[in-house]
Amino acid sequence: MSEPVPAQRSTAESAPAADSSTVVTADANTVPAVRVSSRVAALDVLRGIAILGTLGTNIWIFTNVEGLIGYLERSDEPTGAAMWVERFLQQAAQGKFLGLLTIMFGIGLAIQQRSAARGGRPWPGKYPWRAGLLFLDGLLHFLLFTEFDVLMGYALTGLVVAYVLATSPRAQRRWLIITASLHITVMTLVAAAIAFAPQQDSAPAEPLDPNPYADGSFWDLVMFRWDSLLLFRIETIVIFPMSIALFLVGARLFNAGVFELNGARIRKRLMIIGAIALPLDMALGMVNPTLVIITRYGIAPFVALGILGLAAEFYVRRPRPGFVGRRFSEVGRMALSCYILQNVVASSICYGWGLGLAAQVSGNARVPFTVAVYLVTAGLMLVFAHVWLRRFQRGPVEWLWNRSYQAIAERGGRPA
């Protein structure tokens, strides 16, 4: 990957949905279509915020001595003021950036569909190949580094939504209503089951023995993920309807002009929704962390919509982001690379096959340790994206993904 990447034809044509941010401005009546690529500042910035924001949630999993198992069981929770600081920091990121990233994937699909329509290409065309490559990326990422990978779920969701977007607006609206209703029903039933379940003995859970996160080799952890495949993939299955709904919300918002000057009313409504949802989300999560089903999967997506509306409003009259915005936008342009790499860095710092620092930190010291690991990892992503994009047009994973897709597409004819 040391050679410079050749000039890309169009982001919407050649990159996965997470990295598609080319806006097509050709006249709809022009044949053949003349396309002018322009990158909306808010899209890249929002993707960068979403990527580093998901790290804000996942970092607590890395720094727990028992990894995801310990995080779910809330093992070794600090006491006193450290407990409240940890709860605040966890709740500040919980679900909000997952929701934002999911919405951004839906926007990416809408952009690709618009590009295909302008170019006279069928939709979804060869998109299933793109979804297949993304699924393979996610599977490798899951097995090698991160049991809470989202790419596999996004690949399957994108495959479904790509075909939904080929239907009429009325059919899309039905899909949105049905999947959102199904998600709300499932989450309500799960929350009720938790609330009315018989009280269990409050004795601490048995330690994970053997503990592959602290004591195992790299291969031990790979096999642990494989053996616990269903457990670690259950969230992806349960929130599948929510993912479809948020993909569709993202596509509808983009097509409705949320990033355009005349989309002010849409952005205002999104910001109001987020402003109402945020304090409710924080209050419930801080008081009772067991309400994570309600906050992460019920309220947080509305906060994500508020973040999207706020960023879109900020950048709609600022086609060029400032210094901070440029750093986030660089991460956004390399979303797949930075998402994978930040998990590689964090796991190598915390897990036993790497530096193994998580096992050396006590419960009350975990908050400053976690903050430090986050700042180091996020800082490395910002620097890496900036340095890489000074020489190359795509991130390394995006480059590999694009080359793989082009090889597949060339065998089947002109890429769609």
* 135 is a domain residue: yes
Cross-strand pairs, 39: 22
* 11 is a domain residue: no
- The residue segments making up the domain with residue 319 are 22-30+37-196+208-412
Using CA atoms, how far residue 290 sits from 62, 74, 283, 326, 377, in Å, is 20, 10, 13, 37, 28
What pLDDT, on the 0 to 100 scale, is given for residue 229?
92
* 80 is a domain residue: yes
User: Is residue 294 a contact partner of residue 302, using CB atoms and an 8 Å limit?
Assistant: no
**What is d(CA 322, CA 318) in angstroms, rounded to the nearest whole number?**
9
* 1 is a domain residue: no
* 10 is a domain residue: no
What pLDDT, on the 0 to 100 scale, is given for residue 266?
95
Which of 4-8, 129-133, 384-388, 412-416 is most confident?
384-388
What residue type is 384 in one-letter code?
F
* 400 is a domain residue: yes
What pLDDT, on the 0 to 100 scale, is given for residue 244?
97
Q: Cα 20–22–26 angle (5° rounding)?
A: 140
Cross-strand pairs, 242: none
What pLDDT, on the 0 to 100 scale, is given for residue 199?
64
Mean pLDDT (the chain, rounded): 86
What pLDDT, on the 0 to 100 scale, is given for residue 14?
36
What pLDDT, on the 0 to 100 scale, is given for residue 3?
37
What pLDDT, on the 0 to 100 scale, is given for residue 292?
85
State the total domains in the chain. 1
Burial state string for 95-109 with b = 16 or more CB within 10 A and e = fewer than 16: bbbbbbbbbbbbbbb
Q: Which of 87, 54, 62 has the alpha carbon at shortest distance from 288?
A: 87
Q: Cβ-count burial of 87 within 10 angstroms (0-12 exposed, 13-18 middle, 19+ buried)? A: buried
For 339-365, the pLDDT digits (tens) are 999 999 999 999 999 999 999 998 788
What pLDDT, on the 0 to 100 scale, is given for residue 139?
95
Confidence category of residue 97, pLDDT binned at 50, 70, 90: very high
Cross-strand pairs, 37: 24
Averaged over 99-115, what is the pLDDT? 94
Question: How much of the chain, in percent, has pLDDT values that exceed 70?
Answer: 87
Q: What is the DSSP string of 244-301?
A: HHHHHHHHHHHHTTTTSGGGHHHHHHHHHHHHHHHHHHHHHHHH-GGGHHHIIIIIHH
* 68 is a domain residue: yes
118 three-state secondary structure = helix
User: Is residue 336 a contact partner of residue 137, using CB atoms and an 8 Å limit?
Assistant: yes
Kindly report the number of other CB atoms within 10 A of residue 223's CB atom.
13
Averaged over 79-104, what is the pLDDT? 92
Rg value, the chain, Cα? 21
For 189-236, the pLDDT digits (tens) are 887 887 777 766 555 667 777 899 999 999 999 999 999 999 999 999
For 358-414, the pLDDT digits (tens) are 999 987 889 999 999 999 999 999 999 999 999 999 999 999 988 888 888 777 545
What pLDDT, on the 0 to 100 scale, is given for residue 407?
85
* 147 is a domain residue: yes
What pLDDT, on the 0 to 100 scale, is given for residue 82?
87
For 158-199, the pLDDT digits (tens) are 999 999 999 999 999 999 999 999 999 988 888 788 777 776
Q: Which one is predicted more confidently, 285 or 34?
A: 285
What pLDDT, on the 0 to 100 scale, is given for residue 201?
56
